[in-house]
Amino acid sequence: MSNNSSARRPKSKATTTASQEPKAPSAADDTHVMPSKPVERAKSTGLHIGEAAPGVAKVDPIIVADGIRRTFGGLTAVDVEHLEIPRGAITALIGPNGAGKTTLFNLLTGFDKPDAGTWIFDGTSLSGVPAFKVSRMGQVRTFQLTKALGLLTVVENMKLGAKGQKGESFWQSLIPGIWRKQDEEIEERAMELLAKFKLDAKADDFAASLSGGQRKLLEMARALMSQPQLVMLDEPMAGVNPALTQSLLDKILDLKQEGMTVLFVEHDMHMVRHIADWVVVMAEGRVVAEGDPHTVMRDPAVIDAYLGAHQELDLGVVTGRYSADAADSTTDAAASTKVKASDLEAAGMAELEDTSK
């Protein structure tokens, strides 16, 4: 596979870098000059029908989920009554750690089976459909903890992502003439995508040699190899070098422009605000709010679920480790001195008892 590929590589690289040229100079400025606003792209609006509330119907949903429940022992990880994801838009799924975001991703993509519930992707029921079929149907995902195949090269990882490869059939694989041309096309596409994600220089390195951030990029690029309709990104920014963030945001906006639907999990609120058209907030397995980013982030229920009720407190002061004059500047020092650590502890225990009932 790799013998003939290296001979052809320079050519395809040349063409792709040429097409990248106009963009290149901006990369350097990107890092400082505020989170530079390249071209403010229009948000998609008018996605929902009626008032924005958890489970609101969408004008053109690509995913419709109903009554999805998943429990692990006594813990209910996901309990979603109704959820619709709008087509052709960028939807962010946010919520505190343990809210069930990744579990929901796993369920929707067939990596896990729910205790109950049904969901429809693009008009087809996906309940019980295994992950590899889900991805063939045009719904691909990336992982929070990347799953690159370390002992394949970067470009080989990419080529795995392409679907409908003729060489996958045992008998056809024996006759290179059948698949060689397709393989070349796939490789060319792979190199184009790698160039977009600035990984082309690494094409012939083992994927294991990539950093966590680069693996994230590779995984996203590989997902695109299957030419999906819906791309699901699990914390695409986590571990990615902050200097790359801006260009990665642009990549995601590009996907929308190309007609794909994007659903992503993210903790970085700046990113959510910047690119999401719609935000779904989960907490303790349930969808607690939905809406456009600006409205959702002012919603008290969201602030409570996401930030916690005590963000104004400095726990160092509460626990008596530090005096009030040394308090964290983002917190309320006076309030921190008044709260008792034992009360916060009791609040935690009380919540625990609530949830275990």
Where are the extended beta strands (E) located within 123-213? 124-125, 139-141
Contacts 24+ apart (CB under 8 A), 270-275: 270/35, 271/237, 271/245, 272/92, 272/94, 273/297, 274/35, 274/249, 275/90, 275/92, 275/249
Q: Does 300 bind other proteins (CB under 8 A)?
A: no
User: Would you say 151 and 206 are in contact if contact means Cβ atoms under 8 Å apart?
Assistant: yes
DSSP 278-325: EEEEEETTEEEEEE-HHHHTT-HHHIIIII-TTTT--HHHHTTSS-GG
Distance of alpha carbon 59 from alpha carbon 85, whole angstroms: 10
Q: Does 243 bind other proteins (CB under 8 A)?
A: no
Q: Does 75 bind other proteins (CB under 8 A)?
A: yes
The distance of closest approach from Cβ of residue 184 to other proteins in the complex, given in angstroms and rounded to an integer, is 30
Q: Does 306 bind other proteins (CB under 8 A)?
A: yes
Sign of CA dihedral 43, 47, 53, 56: negative
Nearer to other proteins, 93 or 186 (CB): 93
Q: Does 152 bind other proteins (CB under 8 A)?
A: no
The distance of closest approach from Cβ of residue 141 to other proteins in the complex, given in angstroms and rounded to an integer, is 17
Distance of alpha carbon 232 from alpha carbon 141, whole angstroms: 4
Of 131-139, 250-258, 274-282, 348-356, which part binds other proteins (CB under 8 A)? 348-356
Nearer to other proteins, 18 or 243 (CB): 243
The distance of closest approach from Cβ of residue 91 to other proteins in the complex, given in angstroms and rounded to an integer, is 19
Distance of alpha carbon 340 from alpha carbon 320, whole angstroms: 9
The distance of closest approach from Cβ of residue 98 to other proteins in the complex, given in angstroms and rounded to an integer, is 4
Of 130-138, 222-230, 248-256, 263-271, which part binds other proteins (CB under 8 A)? 263-271
Nearer to other proteins, 95 or 110 (CB): 95
**Alpha carbon of 18 to those of 21, 25, 247: distances in Å?**
5, 13, 18
Tell me the number of residues near other proteins by CB under 8 A: 54
Q: Does 242 bind other proteins (CB under 8 A)?
A: yes
Instruction: Give the footprint of other proteins on residues 90-149 (CB under 8 A).
Output: 96-98
Tell me the residue type at 241. N
Which of 127, 239, 312, 324 forms a contact with other proteins (CB under 8 A)?
239
Q: Does 55 bind other proteins (CB under 8 A)?
A: no
Structure tokens at 86: 């709008």
Question: Footprint of other proteins on this chain (CB under 8 A)?
Answer: 73-75, 96-98, 150, 208-209, 211-213, 235, 238-239, 242, 267-270, 283-284, 297, 305-311, 313-319, 321-322, 326, 328-331, 341, 344-345, 347-349, 351-352, 355-356
